[in-house]
Amino acid sequence: MLDQLFFEVYTKFKLHFYQEVLSRFQSREASLTTVETFCMESIQAFENPTINEFASFLHISPSNAAYKVNSLVKKGYVDRVQSPEDRREYHLRVTQKYVDYYNISTAYVKEVMDRIERHFSPADCKKLAEMLSVISGELMPEVELPNALKAIK
């Protein structure tokens, strides 16, 4: 039962995102493919990774990663920023164009979280926060997030 309820909530978040994105592109073609969206979410989560770090995390070849990044740069969703420490290295940075796209999803998460805080007691909200912290920190070892992103949670 718990797994079904969690999957239902997760699915509702995804479907709301799809509704919002697709409704904005009724009169024109969406500029990010599904795979590119996955790539962008990974780049954003890992806060300015190098192409090699990006490739390593997604278990794809550096040349495949470079191809995907080139497409995202051309579409204006990613910038390559030269490393001040090692001028041969470039980091990937999401652009404001992508932040605006991504905020479609985060705005709804924030809205639901505000509803949770209004609906449930502070003790229940504290318990939910503790549970989510354990789920993220201990029960999902396959995906390690950067420290800065952990602090947001």
Q: What is the pLDDT of residue 26?
A: 56
Phi, psi of 141 (to 5 degrees): -70, -15
pLDDT at 92 over 80: yes
Instruction: Indicate if the pLDDT at residue 108 is higher than 80.
Output: yes
Contact 82, 70 (CB under 8 A): no
Summarize the confidence of residues 82-97 as an average pLDDT.
91
Report whether pLDDT(17) > 90: no
Average pLDDT estimate for 53-77? 93
pLDDT digits (tens, 9 = 90+) for 114-140: 999 999 999 999 999 999 999 988 898
Contacts made by residues 145-149, CB under 8 angstroms, sequence distance 24+: 145/45, 145/46, 146/45, 146/46, 146/47, 148/47, 149/45, 149/47
Is residue 60 predicted with pLDDT exceeding 70? yes
Which residues, in sequence order, are CB contacts of 91 under 8 Å at separation 6+? 48, 49, 50, 80, 81, 82, 83
In this prediction, residue 55 carries a pLDDT of 93
Q: Can you give the pLDDT at residue 50?
A: 92
Share above pLDDT 90 across residues of the chain, in percent, rounded to a whole number: 43
pTM of the model: 0.68
Mean pLDDT (the chain) is 85
pLDDT band at residue 150 under the 50/70/90 scheme: very low
